[in-house]
Structure 1
Amino acid sequence: MSFSMTGYGQSSLQYAGYKVELEIKSVNHRYCEVVLRMPREWTCFEDVLRRTVQQYVKRGRVDIYINKEADLENVAYATLNHSAVKAYLHAADQLNVQYGLEGKLTVKDILALPDVLLSPDRVPIDNEEDMEKWGDVLQEGLRKALESLMTMRRKEGQHLMQDVEQRLERLQVLHDEMVTYAPHVVEEHRNKLRQRLTELQDNSFTLDDQKLGMEIAVYADRSNIDEELIRLQSHFKQCRELLLADEVIGRKLDFLIQEMNREVNTIGSKSNYLALVTRVVEMKAELEKIREQAANIE
């Protein structure tokens, strides 16, 4: 099954008096690029979270936003930052010793200083056990968000596949029409050439059927498109097989589209037959639409 590279997912969970919200957005990208934005104290989890994303997503740019807020219904108090208090008291002692400044900090003074009181959403993680538990929580929330993302990418991928299949069917119809018209190319050229020579005939020269035959044979060899039509048919088959494959197909599909474009361009350069030229133009238009869709397929 193929997936679109565009999608959105989110999850929310609560732990230790906090509400953790995760939001994931993915867009087109040539490779798999994961960008994480989260509180600084969680940067140590960045590598493991990135590897988790890569288990789900093979191609595309994935932006992940992780936010932590205090659950004020359960935790409605501030926490004293002991490290900051000790630092302020030590600085006060140094002022007294080095500069002879007198005076003592009161409780009111200390509480008014920056970072002495931490709101619940800024309480630091103090020990390794807490860090490990938070790592498990983030993994759980990320997987839920990724499942939501992949559900959307799967649905969008199905729509893309249906559109590509319909355009392949149209390409097949145009190909079959080309096969029908191809034998008439030489016949029309022969008739036009004979008619032109007849119109130019003023009894000053004699029509040489042998030279005329050689000229037509050279044109027939130069304008033959059988090989291009056979290769196009092979590419159509490979595209259909890719659409049914359970693997990442975006790059392979893009390569096949390039090859089909090359064959169609060759047919266009060889053909001087209106019916074929018209089909070439239609084929190129359909291939361009498939290319645009393939650019969003994982």
Structure 2
Amino acid sequence: MIQSMTGFGKHVIQLPSKKITIELKSLNSKSLDINARIPQAYREKELELRKMIADNLVRGKVDFGLYVEITGEETTAEVNQGVVKNYMSQLAKIAEGDDIKLLELALRMPDTLKTDKNDIDEEEYKSIVSAMKEALSNIVEFRNEEGEVLEKDFVERIQNLNRLLEEVKTMDPERLGSVRERLERAVADLKVELDANRFEQELIYYLEKYDITEEKVRLANHLKYFETTLNSKESNGKKLGFISQEIGREINTIGSKANYAPMQQLVVQMKDELEKIKEQMLNVL
């Protein structure tokens, strides 16, 4: 089973005087990269919340947001009157407008609100942790669903590669015969007398350099290993990536040894299928 690094999870809790929303978005990344947006009042709990994310998501570029909306009369913020008046004074010098308009502009500027730091209520934090667990559960489910789509695509691509490999195996005797025929014709065109036994030995040596038996065996093994890893219980994106590199190495070697246009066409198709696998592999956990 594989898991995608793309996901989204959200959970909202309603407390007596405020609504708290937890949002998680993730994209592909080589490592775990968490970008957190948390109100200042909750900063002391940031490391704990980050650890919860790391334990569940493992890898990916994660945007984490904790949003608080006051729905009751409670508020911890006050207007910083001195700062607002200073902004209004400066704005009046560079732009025309009534006091209401200047006030609207000033309130959008930094540091216009001051917040008294209070200890986080334990019951409230328990609710936040519960909401985080729900959001994480949602994003993991999303990642699993995306992973199922990726897995179906990988299975199809591997089947196509196996089919193309069988065509290569079927074509190989014909390819060697064609290569041998071209060499014999080239020597005949030289119109020189050669020792038949020596020529046959050199010909065999030359054809051995074009032999792809080992490459065919290794490629078949790599394709089988890819399928086995794909069906494992854990998502092994990095391991599948390494196997893909080995698959590519064997395909490239077959292409360089082919020396036969029909087989090289099959190699091009194999490279196309592998490239599609590699593109999708970037998103696998």
Classify 1:40/1:79 alpha carbon distance in 2 versus 1 (closer, same or farther; 3 Å). closer
Classify 1:125/1:80 alpha carbon distance in 2 versus 1 (closer, same or farther; 3 Å). closer
1:89: which partner in 2?
A: none
Point out where structure 1 has 5 or more consecutive residues left out of the alignment: 85-120
User: Do the aligned partners of 2:180 and 2:207 also contact (CA within 8 Å) in 1?
Assistant: no
Q: How many residues align?
A: 252
* Aligned mate of 1:257, from 218, 221, 244: 244
Matched, 1:131 2:118: no
Classify 1:7/1:77 alpha carbon distance in 2 versus 1 (closer, same or farther; 3 Å). closer
Deviation at 1:124, TM superposition (A): 5.2
Alignment of 1:1-298 (within 5 A): 1-71=1-71, 75-76=72-73, 126-127=118-119, 130-201=120-191, 205-298=192-285
Deviation at 1:158, TM superposition (A): 0.5
Classify 1:251/1:191 alpha carbon distance in 2 versus 1 (closer, same or farther; 3 Å). same
CA distance in 2, matches of 1:215, 1:275: 25
Supply the RMSD in Å over aligned alpha carbons.
Answer: 2.2
Q: Secondary structure at the match of 1:182?
A: helix
CA distance in 2, matches of 1:21, 1:285: 44
Deviations 1:28-53 (A, max 9, x none): 00012222111011111111111111
Classify 1:63/1:78 alpha carbon distance in 2 versus 1 (closer, same or farther; 3 Å). closer
Deviation at 1:59, TM superposition (A): 1.5
CA distance in 2, matches of 1:16, 1:159: 41
User: Do the aligned partners of 1:11 and 1:144 also contact (CA within 8 Å) in 2?
Assistant: yes
Larger radius of gyration between Structure 1 and Structure 2: 1
Classify 1:181/1:77 alpha carbon distance in 2 versus 1 (closer, same or farther; 3 Å). closer
Deviation at 1:278, TM superposition (A): 1.1
Q: Quick one: percent identity of the two aligned structures?
A: 32
2:104: which partner in 1?
A: none
2:99: which partner in 1?
A: none
Deviation at 1:206, TM superposition (A): 2.2
Deviations 1:50-87 (A, max 9, x none): 1111222121111111110111xxx2466798xx9xxx
TM-score (norm 2): 0.82
Deviation at 1:125, TM superposition (A): 6.3
User: Do the aligned partners of 2:77 and 2:114 also contact (CA within 8 Å) in 1?
Assistant: no
Deviations 1:163-205 (A, max 9, x none): 010000000001111111222333212212222333443xxx3
Deviation at 1:212, TM superposition (A): 2.4
Deviations 1:264-287 (A, max 9, x none): 111111120122211111111111
Deviations 1:96-139 (A, max 9, x none): xxxxxxxxxxxxxxxxxxxxxxxxx9985644xx4332321221
Aligned residue identity for 2:215: E
TM-score (norm 1): 0.78
Point out where structure 2 has 5 or more consecutive residues left out of the alignment: 81-112
Classify 1:214/1:46 alpha carbon distance in 2 versus 1 (closer, same or farther; 3 Å). same
Deviation at 1:5, TM superposition (A): 0.6
Q: Secondary structure at the match of 1:183?
A: helix
